[in-house]
Structure formats: structure tokens, C-alpha cells
Amino acid sequence: MDSSPEHKQRTKWIGTVTQALEHDDLESLRSLIDELHSSDSAHLIESIPPKERSLIWEIFDTKTRAEILPHLNDEVRSWLLEEMDSGEIAEAATNIETDDMADLLQDMSYSQTQKVLQSLDKQNRVRIEEALSYPEDSAGGLMNTDTIQIRGDIDLDVVLRYLRIHDKLPAGTDTLMVVDRDNSFLGTLAISTLLTGDLESSVESVMEKNCEIIPAEMSDKDVATLFERRDLISAPVLNKRGKLLGRITIDDVVDVIRDEADHSILGRAGLDEDEDMFAPVLVSVKRRSLWLGVNLATAFLASWVIGLFEHTMQEVIALAILMPVVASMGGIAGGQTLTLVIRGIALHQINDSNTRWLIFKESSIGVANGMIWAVVVGIVAWIWFDHLQLGIIISAAMMLNLTIAALSGAIIPIIQKQMGIDPALAGYVALTTVTDVVGFISFLGLATLFLL
């Protein structure tokens, strides 16, 4: 369990809020909430049931709500947006960065979206509509259009005086975007260079011309990978004509990485990374029932295979005792390979040139592990049931299933990816079905051939 100071502090907040709500102590509740950072307030809201959420949400003013909304997961945010009218949302929009506002609008109905856009000034409306024109999971959907743009033919002294007329710079500004009169991107000027450079130097002479640029159509996962490999803090986003559209900052990328990690973990159980832990019972039941139905179908398939060898199991009771061992070991071995391959796919480390080598390598690991554990299991079964032939049979089944499991763990996610199926979501179900069926057929089939 996490014992970090931050974890303990957040647990304390949740307990304090719960007690305040139970005793209708709104004064203590307001005092606590006023001290919280917007991200901590979002965590608090996600950690309490719906009824208490509504009570706390009413306490926040419009500006604070605007700061909290971007930190919430999609499902909780959508639910809270339904509690706000279009006027409140429009007022909140003035305090939200463009990329975050675009995310909020995608969670609203069409009529709400239109009302909010109509209430914005022309400049903000154009910026948000630009962001909305790209898919949510692309660089264009991730970018913030609020940038500081300068020309290359002016001196650094002019740039400094230009910046001083602004009330504040866009959050996370570490570079200025250099463009020409047609808004074509030329390069970037680091704030550090501006502050330490010769003020009489021109922007063009000190700007970074070979900086990393991101096409608006690039997927958010590829953006995250690029930021990781290049250690970027921010990067410009361009359209196909080389025109500057906006920028992506590291805080946006961290959100992508976190969402991808949540997706990988929760996808194994058929859950969405944005699922609300405190959603109503009927809502959660509806979502999870489909996944349970898929697993039930695969379980019936495994049971049907076992039923084919019913007579064999009646004759040799030890088979029923040892049968789960073969399937379980196959599931673990295949799961190890599957997890590594899914990670490799996510990091773009797997391609046509190395797929065959990877499959051969994982199959070899399966064979090696099969040989090792086949001997161990065979000896245990022999000693346990004083039946040498039974030990040999389970050894052979173990060898076969671990080899097939490793091979399947490598092949299944690659095939699913080519078919447009998310292996993080569907890979484990397919693998479990293969290892169970192969494990039961190999063990019970061999037993039928050599024991009866």
C-alpha cells in the first residue's frame, strides 16, 4: 500500500470531508476545500460517492470549477457538466486553456457545445474550433493554441518589450514561436536564450531552427513517445502546409502517459480507464456484464473440452486434481510474453523486420521453461500419486502447453493489432482461452491414450 506523505494527506482529506458531510459541518468543509490545489480537489471529488460530490461541487465558485474540471476523468467530468448550465460553462471557459476547453466540449451534447461557442469571443471561438477539428487522440486535439508568436527579423530587445505588455504569458511557456508573415513556422526562441543573449542580436540569428516539430495528425501516443525520447518540455504543432497551429507541453503528455498506463492495467479486466469507481450500481453492472459474458463463453468452451474426457477422469481421479496445474502454468507463461509484446507494440519497438525473430525467441523461452517445469511437475506427480506414467504424461502436457502459451503470447497481440483490435483489452481473454483449451486437451488427451 502507498505510504507516501501525499497519499497519507489525501486519505486524511477524504476522511475529513466525509466526517464534515456526516455532521453537516459546511464551515469546516469550506475551510478545507479553500486550501486544496485544483488537482487535489479533483482527486477528492473522484474519491467520494455521487451524493457527496454534488454537495461539494455546489461549494466551489465558477472559477474554481474551471480549474478543477480539466483534472477530472472523463466520466466524472461529464456527470458534473450536466450539473452546470451553458452560461456557467461559458464563464468557466474563460479560465481554461484551449486544449482543456476542447476536451470539455467533447464531453457535452451538441446543443450545449454550440451555446458555449456562441458565448465566447471571436478569438477564443476560432482557437477552440481549430482544436475541435482534430481527433481527441491526435496532436491537434492535444495541442494548446495559446502561443506567443514573434518574427525572425526583430531584435531580442524588441521581443522583451513586446512580452512586457502582456499581463501574463501562457502557462508552461518555455519557448517563443518564430513565424513569418504568413504564419509559416521558422523555429523557436528559448526564454533562456532571450534572457541571456545580446539584446541587439536578431531573433533569426539565435533561434533554434532544427527543433522537433509535431504534425497535427500524429497520434497522442506517438507524441508521448517523442517527448520521452527527446526529453522535450514543449513542441510546436504544424499542419500539412507548415503553418503553426499551437504547441504541446509536457503536462499534456503526462496525462497521455497516465491514461495509457491506466488503459493497459484496467483493459485486462475489460474496464475503461475513465470508469468512475463510485458510479451507480446499474451503470457499472451494465458495463461489466458484456465482459463477463465474453469470459463465460470462453469458460464454457474450456468446460466443453473437459467434458469430452469425462470417462477418462472418472477412471483416473488424479487427473482432476492435477488438471488445473497445466492450464495455470500455461496462463502465467503466456501472460508474461503477452505483457512484454503489448508493451513493445505501445513503444513501437515491434515491426515487420523483427517480428519473426521475436516469435522465435519467445517460443524458445517457452520450450526452455517447459523442459524445466515439466521435470519438476512430473517428479511431484510421480511421488504424490506413486504413478510414474502419470508423471510422464503431465510432463509432456506441461512441455506442450508452455511452448504453445509463449508462442500464443507473442502472436496474439501482433495479429490483433493488425486487425485493429486493442490487444491490451482483448489479448488476455484470447490467451486464456488458448492456454486452457490446449492445457486440457494435451493432458487429458495423453491420459486417454496411455492410461486407458
Dist. CA 130–CA 246, nearest whole Å: 10
Angle between helices 50-59 and 26-35 (to 10 degrees): 70
Q: Are residues 235 and 315 in the same domain?
A: no
Domain end call among 137, 163, 178: 137
Residue with cell 523442459: 371
Q: Are residues 178 and 247 in the same domain?
A: yes
Residue with cell 481554461: 96
Dist. CA 237–CA 55, nearest whole Å: 40
Q: Are residues 164 and 93 in the same domain?
A: no
3-state SS string for 131-144: HHCCCCCEHHHHCE
365: in domain: yes
59: in domain: yes
425 with 267: CB under 8 angstroms?
A: yes
Task: For residue 244, give Cα distances in angstroms to 61, 219, 282, 329.
Answer: 35, 18, 46, 54
pLDDT of 223 reads 94
Q: Are residues 333 and 225 in the same domain?
A: no
- Map residue 4 onto helix, strand or coil: coil
Domain CATH code at residue 68: 1.25.60.10
Q: Are residues 88 and 220 in the same domain?
A: no
Q: Where are the beta strands (DSSP E) in 250-339?
A: none
Task: For residue 360, give Cα distances in angstroms to 34, 194, 349, 407.
Answer: 59, 54, 16, 8
Q: Are residues 195 and 239 in the same domain?
A: yes
Residue 23, domain extent: 5-137
Domain end call among 86, 102, 137: 137
Q: Are residues 330 and 259 in the same domain?
A: no
Q: How many CB atoms lie within 10 A of CB 339?
A: 17
- Map residue 181 onto helix, strand or coil: coil
416 with 342: CB under 8 angstroms?
A: no
Dist. CA 414–CA 404, nearest whole Å: 16
Dist. CA 312–CA 410, nearest whole Å: 33
End-to-end Cα spacing for the chain? 51
Domain CATH code at residue 165: 3.10.580.10
68: in domain: yes
Least Cα distance to 67 among 171, 151, 184 occurs for 171
Q: How many CB atoms lie within 10 A of CB 97?
A: 19
Contacts of 114 (CB under 8 A, 6+ apart): none
What DSSP line would sit under 53-122, residue for residue?
Answer: HHHHHHHS-HHHHHHHGGGS-HHHHHHHHTTS-HHHHHHHHTTS-HHHHHHHHHTS-HHHHHHHHHHS-H
Residues of the chain with pLDDT under 50: 1
- Map residue 421 onto helix, strand or coil: coil
User: Cα–Cα–Cα angle for 273, 275, 280, nearest 5°?
Assistant: 170
Q: Are residues 129 and 158 in the same domain?
A: no
350: in domain: yes
Instruction: Read off the C-alpha cell for 193.
Output: 536564450
Number of domains in the chain: 3
Q: Are residues 90 and 182 in the same domain?
A: no
Written as one letter, the residue type at 188 is T
Sign of CA dihedral 267, 272, 273, 278: negative
398: in domain: yes
Q: Are residues 444 and 296 in the same domain?
A: yes
Q: Are residues 299 and 447 in the same domain?
A: yes
275: in domain: no
pLDDT of 252 reads 87
Written as one letter, the residue type at 44 is L
Domain end call among 84, 110, 137: 137
Domain CATH code at residue 359: 1.10.357.20
144: in domain: no
- Map residue 149 onto helix, strand or coil: strand
pLDDT of 357 reads 93
276: in domain: no
Q: Where are the beta strands (DSSP E) in 281-372?
A: none
Residue with cell 477530472: 72
Q: Find the largest Cα–Cα distance for the chain.
A: 95
What pTM, to 2 d.p., does this model score? 0.69
**Tens digits of residue pLDDT in 394-411:** 999 999 999 999 999 999
Instruction: Read off the C-alpha cell for 180.
Output: 513569418
- Map residue 245 onto helix, strand or coil: strand
Q: Are residues 402 and 444 in the same domain?
A: yes
**Tens digits of residue pLDDT in 284-337:** 777 677 777 877 888 888 889 888 888 888 778 888 889 889 999 999 999 999
pLDDT of 279 reads 72
